Amino acid sequence: MEKFDVSIIGAGIIGGAVAYKLSQQGYKVAVIDKELHQNKHQTGRNSGVIHSGVYYPKNSLKSKTCLDGYGQLISFLKKFDLPYKITGKLIAAADESEYPELDRLYKNAKEVGLNVDFFNAEQIREIDENLISKRGFFVKETGITDYKKVLDKFIELSRKNGAEFFFGSEVKTITKTENFTQVETKRQKFKTKQIINCAGLQADRVYSLLTKEKPPVKIVPFKGEYFHVKPKAYNSDIPVYPVPNPNFPFLGVHLTKMIDGTLKVGPNAVLSFSQEGYEGVEINLKDSAETFTNKALFNIARRYSKTVTKELLKQGSKKYFKKNVRKYWSKFVLKLINGYSCGIRAQATADGELIKDFWIETFENQVHVLNAPSPAATSCLAIADTVIEKL
């Protein structure tokens, strides 16, 4: 039976980054994923933005890893000639009611060391004449890339360093011995000294499988939907973001021209009735039961009823979606839409609350990445460092 130093469950961008770094250090690594190939979930379905860390409180794990990860990612993209572009980013206020939160975000950006400048209406229109915000600020440290290609490169380099990837191999049983843990999938058995859980949407369930204990968090799946818009409708590469609700852990519907030229407007944030239900309204009874018995869901609905209702309306009505986009970009009309895509965000909850920061937990010879939504793709190499430190 083959033996490994470290086995990683989940071949998303965090699992790939960890494998890349461990294999560089000479560890014998196995990466196990239930899918037949990579980029099936969050890594392959995001908007491709390289985030700067504007939103996250100084000294939080999100802030630290985003700032560090930004630099590491840019260096990686340069080194391996992967496509990217530093565009900067505009955060635009829809009206005066959003100015206090805009000012707070600006102050936070300055405190963490970012290069930011306030823009007035005239400067904002220089980005695109159809942007109608009167006040916002520009963040220089923002870009766009293709995270699918980043993960592909992690896997390629890890394999060159001796790592083995087992796709189509859902973990079924874990048996602990004195010196090793035996891992059994549908297709193979092997032994490993240490295990890292990077299972994303299934991270809480994998935690239970590995530890035989109740997970400290529960994952709630939030579907984020994007409309694809005719690229020539927007005259810039600069992503435009609204001022987010400070009490709701989503950044709002933004405008992003991706590295391949696709123009995306989105995402919204609505509950998914299936952990991996990407096609229409899919309902998984087990997933739905776990979601609707989660105390955090009721707390969200109670505290943010207006926001939740708005998000649900965005899913059910393109006209309502249009109304929200036109608060800052007046050109958006439904006839510009030429496509649709969606992703599902793995949002962890604990003690009836949404977890706002990254959450990485250790258990015996295991490390569990239990909450790593956006900006995890930007932060992936720094998150990998954090995970490896905990081994």
pLDDT, tens digit, 9 for 90 and up, residues 192-250: 999 999 999 999 999 999 999 999 999 988 888 889 999 999 989 999 999 987 766 67
Beta strand segments in 94-188, E? 116-120, 135-139, 143-145, 164-166, 171-176, 181-185
Contact of 264 with 226, CB cutoff 8 Å:
yes
Three-state DSSP state, 288: helix
SS3 212: coil
Angle at Cα 281 formed by Cα 275 and Cα 285, nearest 5°?
50
Is the distance from CB of 288 to CB of 346 less than 8 angstroms? no
Encoded tokens for 169? 């191999």
Query: Do 186 and 352 contact (CB within 8 A), yes or no?
Result: no
**Higher per-residue pLDDT: 25 or 316:** 25
Indicate if the pLDDT at residue 361 is higher than 70: yes
Cα separation values, 388 from 78, 147, 203, 385, Å: 24, 22, 18, 5
Q: Residues 296-314: what's their mean pLDDT?
A: 69
Residues 37, 327: Cα–Cα separation, whole Å: 40
For residue 212, report the phi and psi dihedrals to the nearest 5 degrees.
Answer: 65, 25
pLDDT confidence bin for 363, thresholds 50/70/90? very high
* Residue that wins the pLDDT comparison between 303 and 205: 205
Report which of residues 179 and 33 the model is more confident about. 33
Q: How far apart are CA 69 and CA 335, in angstroms?
A: 38
Residue 309: burial class (beta carbons within 10 Å; 0-12, 13-18, 19+): exposed
Nearest to 272 by CA among 202, 320, 226, 225: 225
Report the percentage of the chain scoring pLDDT > 70.
95
Which helix (DSSP H) or strand (DSSP E) does residue 309 occupy? helix 305-316
**302 has a pLDDT exceeding 60:** yes
Cβ proximity of 252 and 89 under 8 Å = no
If one compares 270 and 176, the residue with the highest pLDDT of the two is 176
- Can you tell me the mean pLDDT for 337-356? 90
Predicted pLDDT at 283? 76
User: Which amino acid would we find at residue 66?
Assistant: C
pLDDT of 133-167, one tens digit each?
Answer: 999 999 999 999 999 999 999 999 999 999 999 99
CB 278 within 8 A of CB 340: no
What's the one-letter identity of residue 140?
A: K
pLDDT at 315: 63
Q: CA separation (Å) from 203 to 22, 230, 368?
A: 20, 37, 8
Residue 70 has pLDDT above 80, yes or no: yes
Domains and CATH numbers, the chain: 1-86+143-216+356-391 (3.50.50.60), 89-140+218-354 (3.30.9.10)
Q: If you average pLDDT over residues 291-320, what whole number do you get? A: 70
What is the per-residue pLDDT for 294? 80
pLDDT, residue 285, reads 75
Phi and psi at 137, nearest 5°, equal: -140, 150
Residue 192: what pLDDT? Answer: 97
- At residue 132, the pLDDT reads 96
| Per-residue pLDDT at 316 | 61
How sure is the predictor about 269, in pLDDT bands with cuts at 50, 70 and 90?
confident
Q: Place 348 in a pLDDT band, splitting at 50, 70 and 90.
A: very high
Instruction: Report the distance separating Cα 265 and Cα 142, nearest Å.
Output: 17
Q: What is the mean pLDDT of the chain?
A: 91
Give residue-wise pLDDT tens across range 77-101.
Answer: 999 999 999 999 999 999 999 999 9
Is the per-residue pLDDT at 313 higher than 60? Answer: no
How does pLDDT run across 26-63, given as a tens digit for each residue? 999 999 999 989 988 888 888 899 999 999 999 999 99
pLDDT band, residue 317 (cuts 50/70/90): low
Provide the 3-class DSSP secondary structure of residue 179: coil
pLDDT at 336: 93
- Single-letter amino acid code for the residue at 75: S
Confidence of residue 276 (pLDDT cuts 50, 70, 90): confident
Determine the average pLDDT of the residues in 166-189.
91
pLDDT above 60: residue 312? no
Contact 9/171 with Cβ under 8 angstroms? yes
Residue 289 reports pLDDT greater than 80: no
